[in-house]
């Protein structure tokens, strides 16, 4: 097990559309173990493969009692609306209000390659959407109006310099 280095905005891998996961083997298991460990150590509730520098459609999550590995994730339904604070480990956890669907259904493959569907609402739904976005090369700041996006990026860069 190992804690991986978290890639940060504007590293290129974060803006790439991930490649599908095709091998459901021991290596994938080890990778997911590392991803969980990296996520917990950074006190996050979700972590996608591009955030540790891998161009792969894969995320792990432990949020509101939903703990899972999602390979090749897709959002198959969205309902309602919620607005709330959101942050990302790749953008220094600088928070911003993002409006997203309130109820979603995720379809993905588990660690063994078996397809499953999982419904979620509120914070867990937000997490599904945020992490699936990462697999599509999209960050939460891409949902923000230009000025607010620039403010988040500036704050992140300022805090990063201080460290
Ligand atoms: Ni994120």
Q: Look at residue 162 in the predicted model and tell me its pLDDT.
A: 87
Rounded to the nearest angstrom, the distance between the alpha carbon of 147 and the centre of ligand 1 is 20
Q: Look at residue 29 in the predicted model and tell me its pLDDT.
A: 98
What's the pLDDT tens digit per position in 119-154?
A: 999 999 999 999 999 999 999 999 999 999 999 999
Rounded to the nearest angstrom, the distance between the alpha carbon of 98 and the centre of ligand 1 is 13
Residues labelled catalytic: 131
Rounded to the nearest angstrom, the distance between the alpha carbon of 79 and the centre of ligand 1 is 22
Q: What is the dihedral of CA 7, 133, 25, 2, to 10 degrees?
A: 30
47/66 Cα distance (integer angstroms): 14
Rounded to the nearest angstrom, the distance between the alpha carbon of 89 and the centre of ligand 1 is 6
C-alpha triplet 91, 149, 8: angle, nearest 5° = 20
Q: Look at residue 134 in the predicted model and tell me its pLDDT.
A: 98
50 within 8 A of 135, measured Cβ to Cβ = yes
What's the pLDDT tens digit per position in 77-103?
A: 999 999 999 999 999 999 999 999 999
Domain ranges of the chain: 12-162
Q: Is the pTM of this model over 0.95?
A: yes
Which residue, among 47, 53, 56, 38, has the nearest Cα to 1 in the 3D structure?
38
Q: Look at residue 40 in the predicted model and tell me its pLDDT.
A: 98
Topology of 12-162 in CATH?
Peptide Deformylase (3.90.45)
């Amino acid at each position: 097990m190992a804690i991986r280095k978290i890639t940060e905005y504007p590293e290129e891998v974060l803006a790439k559309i991930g490649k599908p996961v095709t091998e459901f083997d021991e290596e994938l298991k080890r990778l997911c173990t590392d991803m969980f460990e990296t996520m917990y150590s950074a006190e996050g509730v979700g972590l996608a493969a591009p955030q540790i520098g891998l161009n792969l459609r894969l995320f792990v999550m432990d949020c509101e009692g939903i703990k899972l590995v999602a390979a090749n994730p897709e959002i198959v339904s969205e309902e309602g609306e919620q607005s709330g604070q959101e942050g990302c480990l790749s953008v220094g956890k600088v928070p911003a209000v993002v409006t997203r669907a309130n109820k979603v259904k995720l379809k993905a493959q588990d660690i063994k390659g078996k397809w499953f569907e999982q419904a979620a609402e509120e914070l867990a739904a937000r997490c599904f959407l945020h992490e699936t976005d990462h697999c599509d090369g999209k960050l939460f700041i891409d949902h923000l109006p230009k000025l607010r996006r620039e403010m988040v990026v500036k704050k992140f860069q300022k805090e990063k310099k201080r460290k």
